[in-house]
């Protein structure tokens, strides 16, 4: 028993301590980001028409869920040369300064942005800086912006990315052009920031300069599709939590244990700034289309893992288009494949989590969120339990990350108190030690004093 307690204390301390080696950041998050989650919009598949206008009509539903930030997948025209499928990849950009006619006009886009803002939400767009389509307008006006092989041909960045060609960021004029294009969308499009595709493939100094210039226009929110902590130093508010996502898949499939989350969090604390935002998710456009739906990958644990994406420290959780409808099919990436917006209990589930995050300071993003205190469950390979507290706001999270019945004997600092369970509204007092019987994949989120 003494060895067990010592191991638990060492693990607890490792998660609380911040290594001196962690990247320091100069990034100042926009104030409006502190209690928000992010919602990824697949414009093509979101509605039957797949247009800005029809998406605008759907905005009140997202507002009612409590959505704070909309991330639109690329809005630019898609290349035709070497196109994949009949409609092509959203990430094969033909013109950085225009909108995809499949979605509508620039006027339609500005109307969508304006309506989003009137509803109290923010909006960012996907930005593909690393590469373009083969027929991007720059191939004619500025062929020197592109990398070429030994005989002067354009080259793909990755072997199977056959529909795109690599830009050359050693070219100073390209960097100047790209920053100008980014500023255009903030100034003229009225957007609030960018999700930057394969950000780690673009030189970090470019992103540093881009952020500096964009913040001169207005405070922006920047999300990097990368896990490189260095990107937080001067450029990005948030990076992807890919490693946690893959770990959750492994736990769901029996290849790892709940306790492995502790190692992930300890490593995160040793590398990332204390005020870094990390984006946690159970699915997104890549995972859904190429690696399977969340139900394929996470079995019956989808909701339990979703609870973790909303409640673990430093997380800004992501919801992908259709999650609230229980999306259980892989959406086609290069063709029209509309989401089936059937009624689903998942809408209420996600709405409850989003609205808790909006009001509970323990779940604030970055350093303003509550400190995490692990609880022992006596079966830590199966049950993950912790509290977080900021001022008077406190939550207690208990999740069974297995497909078996479990009895959790909770013990640890901060457990004692009176709570109300978020999803059932059941009130329960907790002593310093408490036993809970959990069904397979069961999750509970207790809110102190609710």
Instruction: Please report how the helices 106-118 and 52-65 are oriented relative to each other, as an axis angle in degrees rounded to 10.
Output: 10
Specify the CATH number for 21-370; select among 1.10.3720.10, 3.20.20.80, 3.40.50.300, 2.30.30.100.
3.20.20.80
In the numeric block, which tokens belong to residue 139? 């191939």
Under the banding of pLDDT at 50, 70 and 90, the label for residue 450 is: low
C-beta separation of 68 from 121 below 8 A: yes
Strand ranges, E, within 252-355:
277-280, 315-320
> Rounded to whole angstroms, what are the CA distances from 87 to 48, 77, 298, 332, 408?
15, 11, 30, 10, 51
d(CA 273, CA 229): 8
CA atoms within 13 A of residue 350's CA, in its CB half-sphere = 30
DSSP-derived letter for residue 282 is S
Q: How far is CA 435 from the centre of its chain?
A: 34
- The answer to whether the CB of 304 falls within 8 A of the CB of 353 is no
Closest CA to 169 of 133, 211, 205, 136: 205
Count of C-beta atoms within a 10 Å radius of residue 26: 12
Is the predicted pLDDT of residue 211 greater than 80, yes or no? yes
CB 87 within 8 A of CB 78: yes
Q: Which CATH class is domain 374-448?
A: mainly beta
Task: Give the mean model confidence (pLDDT) for residues 372-401.
Answer: 97
Is the pLDDT reported for residue 6 higher than 70? no
pLDDT digits (tens, 9 = 90+) for 8-19: 333 443 344 433
Q: How far apart are CA 375 and CA 410, in angstroms?
A: 6
What is the Cα–Cα distance from 439 to 430, expressed in whole angstroms?
19
CA dist., res. 30 & res. 121, Å (int): 13
What pLDDT does residue 12 have?
Answer: 40
* Angstrom distance (rounded) from CA 74 to CA 221: 16
User: What sign does the CA torsion over 261, 262, 263, 266 have?
Assistant: positive
Q: Which tokens hold the place of 280? A: 């946690």
Q: What percent of the chain has pLDDT over 70?
A: 95
Residue 392 CB neighbours (<10 A): 10
Question: Residue 281 burial by CB count (10 A; 0-12/13-18/19+): exposed, middle or buried?
Answer: buried
Which strand (E) or helix (H) includes residue 307? Answer: helix 302-311
| pLDDT number for residue 13 | 34
The pLDDT of residue 21:
72
The full length of the chain comes to 450
pLDDT of residue 342: 87
Instruction: Identify the pLDDT of residue 432.
Output: 94
Is residue 108 pLDDT above 70, yes or no?
yes
Maximum pairwise Cα distance, the chain: 74
Give mean pLDDT, residues 361-371.
98
Which pTM was predicted?
0.94
21-370 and 374-448 share one CATH topology?
no
Look at the block and give the residue holding tokens 């977080």: 388
Q: Is 21 in a helix, a strand, or coil?
A: coil
CB 276 within 8 A of CB 223: no
pLDDT, tens only, 394-434: 999 999 999 999 999 999 888 999 999 999 999 999 999 99
Domain assignments of the chain as residue spans, ordered by start: 21-370, 374-448
pLDDT over 70 (residue 185) = yes
* Consecutive H or E run containing 409: strand 406-411
H or E element, residue 186 = helix 172-187
Q: Quick check: helix, strand or coil at residue 31?
A: helix
* pLDDT at residue 263 tops 50: yes
> How many Å apart are CA 116 and CA 66, to the nearest integer?
13
Q: For position 344, what pLDDT does the model report? A: 85
Average pLDDT over all residues of the chain: 95
Query: In the chain, what percentage of residues exceed pLDDT 90?
Result: 93
Q: Using the predicted structure, report yes or no on whether residue 252 has a pLDDT greater than 80.
A: yes
User: Is residue 3 scored above 50 in pLDDT?
Assistant: no
By mean pLDDT, which of 3-7, 47-51, 191-195 is the weakest? 3-7
Phi first, then psi, for residue 303 (nearest 5°) are -70, -40
Is the pLDDT at 182 greater than 50? The verdict is yes
């Amino acid at each position: 028993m003494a060895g067990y307690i010592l191991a638990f204390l060492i693990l607890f301390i490792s998660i609380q301590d911040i290594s001196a080696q962690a990247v320091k950041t100069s990034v100042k998050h926009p104030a409006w980001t502190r209690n928000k989650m992010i919602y990824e919009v697949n414009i093509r598949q979101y509605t039957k028409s797949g247009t800005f206008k029809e998406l605008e009509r759907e905005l009140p539903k997202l507002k009612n869920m409590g959505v704070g930030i909309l991330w639109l997948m690329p809005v630019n025209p898609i290349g035709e040369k070497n196109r994949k499928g009949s409609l092509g990849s959203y990430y094969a950009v033909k013109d950085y300064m225009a909108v995809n006619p499949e979605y509508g006009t620039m006027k339609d886009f500005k109307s969508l942005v304006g309506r989003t803002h009137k509803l109290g939400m923010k909006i960012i767009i996907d930005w593909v800086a690393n590469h373009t389509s083969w027929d991007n307008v720059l191939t004619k006006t500025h062929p020197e912006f592109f990398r070429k092989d030994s005989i002067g041909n354009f080259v793909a960045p990755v072997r199977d990315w056959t529909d795109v060609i690599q830009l050359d960021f050693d070219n100073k004029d390209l960097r100047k052009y790209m920053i100008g294009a980014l500023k255009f969308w903030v100034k003229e499009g009225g957007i609030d920031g960018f999700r930057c595709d394969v950000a780690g493939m673009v030189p970090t100094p470019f992103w540093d300069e881009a952020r500096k210039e964009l913040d001169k226009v207005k405070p922006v929110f920047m999300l990097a599709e990368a896990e490189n902590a260095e990107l937080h130093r001067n450029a990005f508010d948030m990076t992807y939590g890919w490693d946690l996502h893959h770990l959750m898949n492994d736990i769901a499939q029996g290849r790892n244990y709940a306790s492995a989350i502790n190692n992930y969090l300890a490593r995160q604390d040793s590398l990332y700034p204390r005020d870094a935002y990390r984006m946690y998710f159970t699915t997104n456009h890549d995972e859904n289309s190429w690696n399977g739906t969340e139900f394929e990958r996470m079995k019956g644990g989808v909701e339990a893992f979703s609870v973790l994406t909303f409640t673990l420290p430093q997380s800004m959780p992501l919801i992908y288009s259709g999650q609230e409808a229980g999306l259980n099919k892989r959406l086609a990436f290069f063709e029209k494949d509309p989401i089936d917006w059937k009624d689903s209990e998942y809408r209420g589930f996600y709405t409850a989590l989003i609205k808790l995050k909006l009001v509970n300071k323990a779940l604030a993003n970055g350093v303003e969120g509550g400190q995490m205190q692990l609880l022992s469950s006596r079966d830590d390979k199966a049950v993950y339990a912790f509290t977080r507290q900021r001022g008077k706001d406190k939550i207690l999270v208990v999740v069974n990350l297995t497909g078996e019945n479990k009895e959790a004997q909770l013990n640890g600092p901060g457990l004692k108190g009176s709570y109300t369970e978020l999803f059932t509204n059941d009130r329960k007092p907790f002593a310093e030690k408490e036993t809970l019987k959990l069904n397979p994949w069961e999750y509970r989120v207790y809110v102190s004093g609710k």
